[in-house]
A = this chain, B = another copy of it.
Amino acid sequence: MGRKRFQSQVATGPATVRTVADLAGVSIASASRVLNGLGGSPELSARVKAAAERVGYVPNAIARSLQAQRTGLIGLAVADIGNPVYVQMMRAIEAEIADCGRQLLIHATNANAAGETELLRGLARRYVDGMIMSPLRVTEAHLNALAKSAVPVVVVGQLPDDAPIDNVRADSIAGVRLAVDHLVDTGRRRIAMINGPLDTVPGAARDTGFRSALAARGLAPADVEYGDFTFEAGLAAARRLLERSGGTGDRPDAILAANDLIAAGTLHALLAAGVRVPHDVALVGMDNTDITELTFPRLTSVDLGAAERGRRAARLLLSRLDDGTIGPRRETVPPTLVQRDST
């Protein structure tokens, strides 16, 4: 029966509004008001401020969140926080939401689909006002979980067209076409591709795009290899590809890598085999990450707009948090080709 109510607050634990109010000899309501810059007579304000200062009062954000029904936190779920593409995206998102005084809660899903849906069910109702996620693969379970998520979610990546969820996507197909056209325009004809896994959304899209872009120029793939979206996989795939074309004659004169990591691996294999880049083989990566500047020669790469996608996703989410009634929106970020020294 509220014993504490009637005993004055001795310095127990960190300061609360009550500590400040007691010290200033005012009600907690007045203390709260002054602390939030609403009303208060000069005299009372001064007393409260002095008291707050003296006890080093810092408002407890948890309590405030409970009352306000919002935390100011935005969740970001990515497969791998080390992947340069996600790093780019994270940076853009962070910058965008920091402007609104919000913070980023980052969660690595480790490309684990079960974990991702669990996240939507759990974490979505945990601490975040909204959430941005970029799943590598999208399953039925994802869609289900997304549909009943308790907070707004924006998905970066491909989603079925009828999914009623805010969605920002890259245009891989157009991106691949940019690369292919660039290679053909600069005289390459035997164009090979080193792709990621076909059962991922980006892998599948890039495969389709590659074949149709070549067909549009009256060409067929010189060769195709698959592996993970990693440097090591790119290195291994490129070695297989080089081995297959033992004679210089049927070696591809250009290779399109499905991302910059694969491209870096490929470059490594080429240089190690004494192949000159771009003289003998032109090389194009995708994602236009920082990696492109680190290699020698620097990599030509298709910018699929990771940063821009992050920025737009953040904006979509922020606007939805302002007004939950707007219908689902879909944005597509157009790719650009950034030519450097590998083509």
**Residues in A lying within 8 Å of B, measured CB to CB:** 14, 56, 58-63, 65-66, 71, 73, 81-82, 87-88, 90-91, 94, 98, 103-108, 121-123, 125-127, 148, 150, 231, 264, 267-268, 271-272, 290-291, 293-296
Q: Specify which of B58, B104, B126 is in contact with A125 (CB 8 Å cutoff).
A: B58
Q: Specify which of B103, B148, B268 is in contact with A105 (CB 8 Å cutoff).
A: B103
Contact A58 B294 (CB under 8 A): no
Q: Specify which of B62, B87, B231, B268 is in contact with A65 (CB 8 Å cutoff).
A: B62
Please measure, in the bound complex, the distance between the C-alpha atom of A268 and the C-alpha atom of B81, giving whole angstroms: 27
**Nearest residue in B to A14 (C-beta to C-beta)?**
B150
Within the complex, the shortest CB–CB distance from A145 to chain B, in Å, comes to 11
**Complex copy number for this chain:** 2
Contact B294 A61 (CB under 8 A): no
Report B-chain residues with C-beta under 8 Å of the C-beta of A63.
Answer: 66
Q: Specify which of B58, B125, B148 is in contact with A122 (CB 8 Å cutoff).
A: B58
Q: Specify which of B61, B88, B91, B94 is in contact with A126 (CB 8 Å cutoff).
A: B61
Not counting A63-B66, A71-B127, A81-B87, a sample of 16 additional A-B residue pairs whose C-beta atoms are within 8 angstroms of each other reads A58-B121, A58-B122, A59-B125, A62-B62, A62-B66, A94-B108, A98-B108, A106-B106, A231-B290, A267-B296, A268-B294, A268-B296, A271-B296, A272-B296, A291-B294, A296-B296
**Nearest residue in B to A88 (C-beta to C-beta)?**
B82
Within the complex, the shortest CB–CB distance from A227 to chain B, in Å, comes to 16
Report B-chain residues with C-beta under 8 Å of the C-beta of A105.
Answer: 73, 103-106
Contact A231 B296 (CB under 8 A): no
Within the complex, the shortest CB–CB distance from A338 to chain B, in Å, comes to 16
Within the complex, the shortest CB–CB distance from A13 to chain B, in Å, comes to 9
